[in-house]
Amino acid sequence: MRLDEERAVLLAALGVVLEQSQEDDGDVGNDEGDHKTSRQRPPYEERTERTSRARYSYGTRGAEALSAEDTAQQDEADRDAEITAVADLSLFQTSREHYGVFYRLDLTLGVPHLRIYMPEDEGQLKIRCYLVRAAQDTPLHEWFITAREHEGSPAYEEARDTAQQHLLFAAGELMKRLFWSGDVETMHFPDELAVIRIA
């Protein structure tokens, strides 16, 4: 018995059905013939769904389609990197106005990130989490970057960490007010915020 046949027999015993390769259109079974597993190609619709890139776009339109897809993938990768990045500074708070809600405020990559955790009646986690960030091209987005890039006097350098904590606290209060002025159920928020639900 060849190695491919042995693997197919072992996987068949576990209930795994292998896809049929282009070269091998036959059935695979063991020597005794009692565990014969037929390998089938997926339907045409499934095969075409796997290749989501525009295969038949030519010229300028094809280049635009591919660059738009690459840009979307890059934006998603950047967003994921921001979400998982290690915070330079973190503050934790419970809400006084909303029962069961607590906040985690991070300074990540020079931009404030507010995570809002609230109770949820449905689902396995029984909690919702929203990631709230300052929208691009807003002063809130630039505050920390500007403060970080400034090279000041020795006295300023000594006070920089304390100033960043106070600035982060103030940014968090602003972001909380803007978040709660929006509509959580329809995900409509003021333009100064970028909000995504992450749990």
Question: Where do the structural domains in the chain lie, given as residue ranges?
Answer: 1-51, 55-84, 85-197
What gap in Å lies between CA 177 and CA 92, rounded to an integer? 16
Q: How far apart are the first and last CA of the chain?
A: 49
DSSP code of 18?
A: P
By residue count, the chain amounts to: 199
The arithmetic mean of pLDDT across residues 82-88, rounded, is 74
Q: Tell me what the pLDDT averaged over the chain comes to.
A: 74
The arithmetic mean of pLDDT across residues 188-197, rounded, is 93
pLDDT at 3 over 80: no
The arithmetic mean of pLDDT across residues 88-99, rounded, is 90
pLDDT at 13 over 90: no
Each residue of 150-179: pLDDT tens digit?
A: 888 999 888 888 888 899 999 999 999 999
pLDDT band at 83 (very low <50, low <70, confident <90, very high): low
Say what the pLDDT of residue 82 is: 65
pLDDT at 37 over 70: no
For residue 10, what are its two tokens?
A: 């072992």
Higher pLDDT, 187 or 70: 187
What gap in Å lies between CA 107 and CA 136, rounded to an integer? 15
Higher pLDDT, 107 or 78: 107
What gap in Å lies between CA 138 and CA 174, rounded to an integer? 13
